[in-house]
Homo-oligomer: A and B are copies of this chain.
Amino acid sequence: MREGQQALRLGDIVERFGGQLLGDPELLITQVATLESAGSGHISFFANPRYRRQLEQTRADAVIVSPEVADATQRARIVCKDPYAYFAQLSSLLNPMPAVAAGIHPSAAVDPSARVDHSAAIGAFVSIGARAEIGPATSIEAGCVLGEGVRVGRNCRLHANVVVYHDCSIGDRVILHSGAVIGADGFGLAWEGTRWNKIPQIGRVVIENDVEVGANTTIDRGALDDTVIEEGVKLDNQIQIGHNCRIGAHTAIAGCVGIAGSTHIGRYCRIGGSAMIGGHLHIADKVEISGATAVPKSILKPGTYTSLFPISQHQDWLRNASYIRHLDALAGRLRELEARLAALQGTSNE
Protein backbone atom coordinates (compact mmCIF):
# COMPACT_ATOMS: atom_id res chain seq x y z
CA MET A 1 0.00 0.00 0.00
CA ARG A 2 1.26 3.45 -0.84
CA GLU A 3 1.06 6.24 1.69
CA GLY A 4 -1.03 9.25 0.74
CA GLN A 5 0.76 12.43 -0.19
CA GLN A 6 -0.65 14.51 2.64
CA ALA A 7 -1.89 14.39 6.21
CA LEU A 8 -5.36 15.67 7.13
CA ARG A 9 -6.64 16.63 10.60
CA LEU A 10 -9.76 14.68 11.60
CA GLY A 11 -11.37 18.03 12.27
CA ASP A 12 -10.65 19.19 8.72
CA ILE A 13 -12.11 15.99 7.30
CA VAL A 14 -15.39 16.50 9.15
CA GLU A 15 -15.45 20.13 8.16
CA ARG A 16 -15.09 19.13 4.53
CA PHE A 17 -17.31 16.05 4.25
CA GLY A 18 -19.70 16.44 7.22
CA GLY A 19 -20.55 13.83 9.84
CA GLN A 20 -20.20 13.94 13.62
CA LEU A 21 -16.74 13.63 15.10
CA LEU A 22 -16.29 11.69 18.33
CA GLY A 23 -12.63 12.07 19.26
CA ASP A 24 -9.61 14.34 18.92
CA PRO A 25 -9.94 16.75 15.94
CA GLU A 26 -6.14 17.18 15.92
CA LEU A 27 -5.48 13.53 15.03
CA LEU A 28 -3.60 13.36 11.71
CA ILE A 29 -4.83 10.96 9.02
CA THR A 30 -2.49 9.98 6.17
CA GLN A 31 -4.25 7.06 4.55
CA VAL A 32 -7.36 4.84 4.40
CA ALA A 33 -7.07 1.15 5.26
CA THR A 34 -9.09 -1.94 6.14
CA LEU A 35 -9.87 -2.54 9.81
CA GLU A 36 -7.53 -5.51 9.70
CA SER A 37 -4.44 -3.90 8.22
CA ALA A 38 -4.80 -0.32 9.50
CA GLY A 39 -2.09 1.16 11.66
CA SER A 40 -0.96 4.52 12.88
CA GLY A 41 -2.28 7.47 10.87
CA HIS A 42 -4.93 5.33 9.19
CA ILE A 43 -8.68 5.70 9.10
CA SER A 44 -10.95 2.74 8.37
CA PHE A 45 -14.70 2.22 8.01
CA PHE A 46 -17.22 -0.17 9.50
CA ALA A 47 -20.23 -0.96 7.33
CA ASN A 48 -20.65 -4.74 7.41
CA PRO A 49 -21.73 -6.14 10.83
CA ARG A 50 -19.86 -9.38 10.21
CA TYR A 51 -16.58 -7.50 10.54
CA ARG A 52 -17.38 -6.52 14.15
CA ARG A 53 -14.49 -8.58 15.48
CA GLN A 54 -12.09 -6.76 13.16
CA LEU A 55 -13.52 -3.49 14.50
CA GLU A 56 -12.72 -4.57 18.05
CA GLN A 57 -9.18 -5.53 17.14
CA THR A 58 -8.33 -2.75 14.71
CA ARG A 59 -5.33 -0.50 15.27
CA ALA A 60 -6.76 2.24 13.08
CA ASP A 61 -6.47 5.69 14.59
CA ALA A 62 -10.02 6.48 13.52
CA VAL A 63 -13.06 4.74 12.07
CA ILE A 64 -16.02 5.91 9.97
CA VAL A 65 -19.23 4.39 11.33
CA SER A 66 -22.99 4.66 10.97
CA PRO A 67 -25.13 6.05 13.82
CA GLU A 68 -26.47 2.57 14.73
CA VAL A 69 -23.02 1.32 15.64
CA ALA A 70 -21.47 4.56 16.85
CA ASP A 71 -20.81 2.94 20.22
CA ALA A 72 -19.27 -0.26 18.90
CA THR A 73 -15.79 1.20 19.32
CA GLN A 74 -14.18 3.73 21.61
CA ARG A 75 -11.66 4.85 19.00
CA ALA A 76 -11.88 8.26 17.38
CA ARG A 77 -14.71 8.03 14.89
CA ILE A 78 -16.76 9.91 12.36
CA VAL A 79 -20.46 9.09 12.52
CA CYS A 80 -22.34 9.46 9.24
CA LYS A 81 -25.22 7.97 7.29
CA ASP A 82 -23.23 6.14 4.61
CA PRO A 83 -19.75 5.21 5.87
CA TYR A 84 -18.77 3.54 2.57
CA ALA A 85 -19.57 6.57 0.42
CA TYR A 86 -17.87 8.83 3.01
CA PHE A 87 -14.81 6.62 2.94
CA ALA A 88 -14.79 6.69 -0.88
CA GLN A 89 -14.76 10.49 -0.93
CA LEU A 90 -12.04 10.69 1.70
CA SER A 91 -9.93 8.12 -0.13
CA SER A 92 -10.22 10.12 -3.34
CA LEU A 93 -8.93 13.18 -1.50
CA LEU A 94 -6.01 11.27 0.05
CA ASN A 95 -5.17 9.42 -3.18
CA PRO A 96 -5.61 11.84 -6.07
CA MET A 97 -4.92 10.69 -9.62
CA PRO A 98 -1.20 11.30 -10.26
CA ALA A 99 -0.52 14.57 -12.02
CA VAL A 100 0.03 14.35 -15.75
CA ALA A 101 3.56 15.25 -16.87
CA ALA A 102 2.78 17.18 -20.02
CA GLY A 103 4.78 16.45 -23.13
CA ILE A 104 5.28 13.93 -25.90
CA HIS A 105 7.83 11.17 -25.33
CA PRO A 106 10.54 11.38 -27.99
CA SER A 107 9.83 7.81 -29.11
CA ALA A 108 6.12 8.43 -29.81
CA ALA A 109 4.92 8.33 -33.41
CA VAL A 110 2.45 11.19 -33.74
CA ASP A 111 1.13 11.96 -37.20
CA PRO A 112 1.89 15.58 -38.16
CA SER A 113 -1.80 16.22 -38.80
CA ALA A 114 -2.83 15.10 -35.31
CA ARG A 115 -3.54 17.80 -32.73
CA VAL A 116 -2.21 17.08 -29.25
CA ASP A 117 -2.94 19.66 -26.55
CA HIS A 118 0.24 21.03 -24.99
CA SER A 119 -0.90 19.93 -21.54
CA ALA A 120 -1.43 16.31 -22.61
CA ALA A 121 1.10 13.56 -21.86
CA ILE A 122 1.98 11.07 -24.60
CA GLY A 123 4.04 8.09 -23.44
CA ALA A 124 6.75 5.98 -25.02
CA PHE A 125 5.93 4.05 -28.21
CA VAL A 126 2.49 5.61 -28.53
CA SER A 127 1.18 5.76 -32.09
CA ILE A 128 -1.34 8.48 -33.01
CA GLY A 129 -2.89 8.53 -36.47
CA ALA A 130 -3.71 11.30 -38.89
CA ARG A 131 -6.20 13.98 -37.82
CA ALA A 132 -6.53 12.59 -34.28
CA GLU A 133 -7.22 15.08 -31.47
CA ILE A 134 -6.04 14.72 -27.87
CA GLY A 135 -7.49 17.11 -25.30
CA PRO A 136 -5.93 19.01 -22.37
CA ALA A 137 -4.45 17.18 -19.38
CA THR A 138 -5.13 13.81 -20.97
CA SER A 139 -2.54 11.08 -20.47
CA ILE A 140 -1.91 8.42 -23.11
CA GLU A 141 0.43 5.83 -21.62
CA ALA A 142 3.09 3.71 -23.27
CA GLY A 143 2.17 1.46 -26.15
CA CYS A 144 -1.29 2.90 -26.89
CA VAL A 145 -2.36 3.01 -30.53
CA LEU A 146 -4.93 5.59 -31.69
CA GLY A 147 -6.14 5.31 -35.28
CA GLU A 148 -6.87 8.06 -37.76
CA GLY A 149 -9.45 10.62 -36.73
CA VAL A 150 -9.74 9.44 -33.14
CA ARG A 151 -10.90 12.13 -30.72
CA VAL A 152 -10.05 11.98 -27.00
CA GLY A 153 -11.37 14.68 -24.66
CA ARG A 154 -9.79 16.34 -21.65
CA ASN A 155 -8.54 14.80 -18.41
CA CYS A 156 -8.70 11.28 -19.80
CA ARG A 157 -6.33 8.50 -18.88
CA LEU A 158 -5.52 5.75 -21.35
CA HIS A 159 -3.39 3.16 -19.55
CA ALA A 160 -0.67 1.26 -21.36
CA ASN A 161 -1.39 -0.73 -24.55
CA VAL A 162 -4.93 0.50 -25.18
CA VAL A 163 -6.07 0.46 -28.82
CA VAL A 164 -8.66 2.83 -30.25
CA TYR A 165 -9.58 2.20 -33.88
CA HIS A 166 -10.05 5.01 -36.41
CA ASP A 167 -12.72 7.70 -35.99
CA CYS A 168 -13.89 6.65 -32.51
CA SER A 169 -14.76 9.42 -30.09
CA ILE A 170 -13.97 9.50 -26.38
CA GLY A 171 -15.36 12.16 -24.02
CA ASP A 172 -13.85 13.89 -21.00
CA ARG A 173 -12.57 12.27 -17.80
CA VAL A 174 -12.69 8.82 -19.39
CA ILE A 175 -10.42 6.06 -18.06
CA LEU A 176 -9.48 3.16 -20.35
CA HIS A 177 -7.49 0.38 -18.72
CA SER A 178 -4.72 -1.59 -20.37
CA GLY A 179 -5.58 -3.93 -23.18
CA ALA A 180 -8.99 -2.37 -23.83
CA VAL A 181 -9.83 -2.37 -27.54
CA ILE A 182 -12.28 0.28 -28.67
CA GLY A 183 -13.75 0.16 -32.15
CA ALA A 184 -12.69 -3.17 -33.61
CA ASP A 185 -15.02 -4.43 -36.33
CA GLY A 186 -18.35 -5.80 -35.18
CA PHE A 187 -19.14 -9.41 -35.99
CA GLY A 188 -21.06 -8.65 -39.16
CA LEU A 189 -21.32 -11.50 -41.64
CA ALA A 190 -23.70 -12.48 -44.42
CA TRP A 191 -23.87 -16.13 -45.45
CA GLU A 192 -23.39 -16.55 -49.18
CA GLY A 193 -24.18 -20.20 -49.73
CA THR A 194 -20.66 -21.55 -49.37
CA ARG A 195 -18.84 -18.92 -47.31
CA TRP A 196 -19.25 -15.89 -45.08
CA ASN A 197 -19.07 -12.42 -46.58
CA LYS A 198 -17.68 -9.78 -44.24
CA ILE A 199 -19.89 -6.70 -43.92
CA PRO A 200 -17.90 -3.46 -43.61
CA GLN A 201 -18.36 -1.94 -40.15
CA ILE A 202 -18.62 1.77 -40.91
CA GLY A 203 -20.08 3.03 -37.63
CA ARG A 204 -17.95 4.26 -34.74
CA VAL A 205 -17.73 3.82 -30.99
CA VAL A 206 -18.78 6.91 -29.04
CA ILE A 207 -17.83 6.95 -25.37
CA GLU A 208 -19.35 9.80 -23.40
CA ASN A 209 -17.96 11.62 -20.35
CA ASP A 210 -16.93 9.98 -17.07
CA VAL A 211 -16.89 6.44 -18.39
CA GLU A 212 -14.40 3.86 -17.07
CA VAL A 213 -13.52 0.81 -19.16
CA GLY A 214 -11.73 -2.16 -17.56
CA ALA A 215 -8.66 -4.06 -18.70
CA ASN A 216 -9.02 -6.14 -21.87
CA THR A 217 -12.62 -5.04 -22.37
CA THR A 218 -13.67 -4.79 -26.02
CA ILE A 219 -16.29 -2.49 -27.52
CA ASP A 220 -17.01 -3.02 -31.20
CA ARG A 221 -17.69 -0.24 -33.68
CA GLY A 222 -21.15 -0.05 -35.22
CA ALA A 223 -22.04 -1.76 -38.47
CA LEU A 224 -23.77 1.33 -39.89
CA ASP A 225 -24.70 3.57 -36.94
CA ASP A 226 -22.55 4.02 -33.83
CA THR A 227 -22.08 1.94 -30.70
CA VAL A 228 -22.69 4.30 -27.76
CA ILE A 229 -21.55 4.15 -24.14
CA GLU A 230 -23.42 6.90 -22.32
CA GLU A 231 -22.03 9.13 -19.58
CA GLY A 232 -20.99 7.70 -16.26
CA VAL A 233 -21.10 4.06 -17.37
CA LYS A 234 -18.63 1.84 -15.49
CA LEU A 235 -17.35 -1.29 -17.21
CA ASP A 236 -15.18 -3.84 -15.43
CA ASN A 237 -12.56 -6.07 -17.09
CA GLN A 238 -13.01 -8.46 -20.01
CA ILE A 239 -16.45 -7.27 -21.02
CA GLN A 240 -17.47 -7.67 -24.65
CA ILE A 241 -19.93 -5.18 -26.13
CA GLY A 242 -21.16 -5.96 -29.63
CA HIS A 243 -21.75 -3.54 -32.48
CA ASN A 244 -24.56 -1.02 -32.22
CA CYS A 245 -25.19 -1.60 -28.54
CA ARG A 246 -26.16 1.38 -26.44
CA ILE A 247 -25.36 1.29 -22.72
CA GLY A 248 -27.46 3.76 -20.74
CA ALA A 249 -25.99 6.40 -18.46
CA HIS A 250 -24.61 5.35 -15.04
CA THR A 251 -25.07 1.66 -15.67
CA ALA A 252 -22.40 -0.53 -14.03
CA ILE A 253 -21.35 -3.86 -15.53
CA ALA A 254 -19.11 -6.36 -13.75
CA GLY A 255 -16.37 -8.45 -15.31
CA CYS A 256 -16.65 -11.02 -18.11
CA VAL A 257 -20.12 -9.93 -19.26
CA GLY A 258 -20.91 -10.40 -22.94
CA ILE A 259 -23.52 -8.26 -24.69
CA ALA A 260 -24.42 -9.26 -28.23
CA GLY A 261 -25.00 -6.76 -31.00
CA SER A 262 -27.76 -4.12 -31.23
CA THR A 263 -28.90 -4.53 -27.64
CA HIS A 264 -29.89 -1.40 -25.75
CA ILE A 265 -29.35 -1.39 -22.00
CA GLY A 266 -31.14 1.21 -19.91
CA ARG A 267 -29.83 3.75 -17.43
CA TYR A 268 -28.87 2.89 -13.85
CA CYS A 269 -28.71 -0.84 -14.52
CA ARG A 270 -26.40 -3.17 -12.61
CA ILE A 271 -25.24 -6.29 -14.35
CA GLY A 272 -23.43 -9.03 -12.43
CA GLY A 273 -20.24 -10.73 -13.52
CA SER A 274 -20.24 -13.29 -16.34
CA ALA A 275 -23.81 -12.47 -17.29
CA MET A 276 -24.62 -12.89 -20.98
CA ILE A 277 -27.14 -10.75 -22.82
CA GLY A 278 -28.41 -11.73 -26.25
CA GLY A 279 -28.60 -9.54 -29.33
CA HIS A 280 -31.31 -7.09 -30.47
CA LEU A 281 -32.79 -6.88 -26.95
CA HIS A 282 -34.07 -3.99 -24.91
CA ILE A 283 -33.30 -3.84 -21.20
CA ALA A 284 -35.27 -1.23 -19.22
CA ASP A 285 -33.78 1.33 -16.82
CA LYS A 286 -32.87 0.19 -13.31
CA VAL A 287 -32.76 -3.50 -14.14
CA GLU A 288 -30.44 -5.66 -12.05
CA ILE A 289 -29.13 -8.86 -13.56
CA SER A 290 -27.56 -11.43 -11.26
CA GLY A 291 -24.10 -12.79 -11.94
CA ALA A 292 -23.82 -15.67 -14.44
CA THR A 293 -27.36 -15.04 -15.66
CA ALA A 294 -28.22 -15.50 -19.34
CA VAL A 295 -30.71 -13.04 -20.80
CA PRO A 296 -32.21 -14.37 -24.05
CA LYS A 297 -35.10 -11.91 -24.25
CA SER A 298 -35.91 -8.28 -23.52
CA ILE A 299 -36.62 -7.12 -19.97
CA LEU A 300 -39.16 -4.34 -19.97
CA LYS A 301 -39.57 -3.50 -16.31
CA PRO A 302 -37.20 -2.77 -13.44
CA GLY A 303 -36.35 -5.50 -10.98
CA THR A 304 -33.77 -8.18 -10.34
CA TYR A 305 -33.52 -11.11 -12.74
CA THR A 306 -31.75 -14.43 -12.34
CA SER A 307 -31.19 -17.66 -14.28
CA LEU A 308 -28.77 -19.63 -12.15
CA PHE A 309 -28.71 -23.40 -11.96
CA PRO A 310 -28.21 -24.11 -8.23
CA ILE A 311 -24.80 -25.53 -7.39
CA SER A 312 -24.46 -28.81 -5.49
CA GLN A 313 -22.03 -31.61 -4.90
CA HIS A 314 -21.41 -33.38 -8.18
CA GLN A 315 -23.10 -36.64 -7.08
CA ASP A 316 -26.25 -34.77 -6.05
CA TRP A 317 -26.15 -32.83 -9.27
CA LEU A 318 -25.94 -36.04 -11.31
CA ARG A 319 -28.96 -37.48 -9.45
CA ASN A 320 -31.08 -34.38 -9.95
CA ALA A 321 -29.97 -33.12 -13.34
CA SER A 322 -31.17 -36.21 -15.14
CA TYR A 323 -34.76 -35.24 -14.27
CA ILE A 324 -34.37 -31.84 -15.93
CA ARG A 325 -34.49 -33.50 -19.33
CA HIS A 326 -37.75 -35.25 -18.40
CA LEU A 327 -39.72 -32.54 -16.67
CA ASP A 328 -42.42 -32.68 -19.31
CA ALA A 329 -42.82 -36.42 -18.72
CA LEU A 330 -42.96 -35.81 -14.96
CA ALA A 331 -45.62 -33.14 -15.45
CA GLY A 332 -47.57 -35.49 -17.72
CA ARG A 333 -47.57 -38.20 -15.08
CA LEU A 334 -48.76 -35.67 -12.52
CA ARG A 335 -51.66 -34.64 -14.76
CA GLU A 336 -52.60 -38.27 -15.29
CA LEU A 337 -52.55 -38.92 -11.55
CA GLU A 338 -54.79 -35.92 -10.99
CA ALA A 339 -57.25 -37.19 -13.59
CA ARG A 340 -57.25 -40.70 -12.18
CA LEU A 341 -57.71 -39.46 -8.66
CA ALA A 342 -60.54 -37.17 -9.76
CA ALA A 343 -62.22 -40.11 -11.50
CA LEU A 344 -61.68 -42.28 -8.45
CA GLN A 345 -63.05 -39.67 -6.10
CA GLY A 346 -66.04 -39.29 -8.39
CA THR A 347 -66.49 -43.07 -8.08
CA SER A 348 -65.93 -43.31 -4.36
CA ASN A 349 -68.18 -40.33 -3.73
CA GLU A 350 -71.00 -42.07 -5.48
Distance to closest chain B CB from A251 (angstroms): 10
A178 touches B187 (CB 8 A): no
For A279, the chain B residues whose CB sits under 8 A away are 273
Which residues 260-294 in A have Cβ within 8 Å of B in the complex?
A: 260, 273-274, 276, 278-279, 290-294
A88 touches B190 (CB 8 A): yes
From A62-70, A72-80, A325-333, the one touching the partner chain is: A325-333
A291 touches B278 (CB 8 A): yes
Docked Cα-Cα span, A293 to B304, in Å, equals 21
Docked Cα-Cα span, A250 to B196, in Å, equals 7
Q: Flag A228-255 by CB within 8 Å of B: 1 or 0 each.
A: 0000101011101010000000101011
Partner of A163, one of B161, B218, B220, B316: B161
A57 within 8 A of B: no
A9 within 8 A of B: no
Partner of A210, one of B195, B200, B250, B318: B195
Partner of A296, one of B215, B226, B291, B345: B291
A308 within 8 A of B: yes
Docked Cα-Cα span, A276 to B322, in Å, equals 20
Q: Flag A197-237 by CB within 8 Å of B: 1 or 0 each.
A: 11110111000001010111010100011100000101011
From A21-29, A112-120, A132-140, A336-344, the one touching the partner chain is: A336-344
For A325, the chain B residues whose CB sits under 8 A away are 310, 312, 316, 320
Interface centre among A167, A203, A242, A254 (most CB of B within 10 A): A254
B198 touches A92 (CB 8 A): yes
For A226, the chain B residues whose CB sits under 8 A away are 1
B2 touches A236 (CB 8 A): no
Question: Knowing A127-B124, A250-B195 touch, does A312 contact B307 (C-beta < 8 A)?
Answer: yes
A142 within 8 A of B: yes
Residue of B nearest to A188 (CB): B88
Question: Knowing A1-B224, A250-B196 touch, does A309 contact B333 (C-beta < 8 A)?
Answer: no
Docked Cα-Cα span, A308 to B294, in Å, equals 7
Which residues on A are within 8 Å of B, measured CB to CB?
A: 1-2, 31-34, 36-37, 84-85, 87-89, 91-92, 94-95, 105, 107, 109, 123-125, 127, 141-143, 145, 147, 159-161, 163, 165, 167, 175, 177-179, 181, 184-185, 187-192, 194-200, 202-204, 210, 212, 214-216, 218, 220, 224-226, 232, 234, 236-238, 240, 242, 250, 252, 254-256, 258, 260, 273-274, 276, 278-279, 290-297, 303-314, 316-328, 330-331, 333-334, 337-338, 340-341, 344-345, 347-348
Q: Can you give 29 A-B contacts (C-beta < 8 A)? A: A1-B224, A85-B192, A88-B188, A107-B109, A109-B142, A125-B127, A147-B160, A163-B178, A181-B215, A184-B215, A187-B255, A196-B250, A218-B238, A260-B291, A273-B279, A290-B314, A291-B294, A293-B311, A304-B313, A304-B314, A305-B311, A306-B312, A307-B310, A308-B309, A319-B328, A337-B341, A341-B341, A344-B344, A348-B348
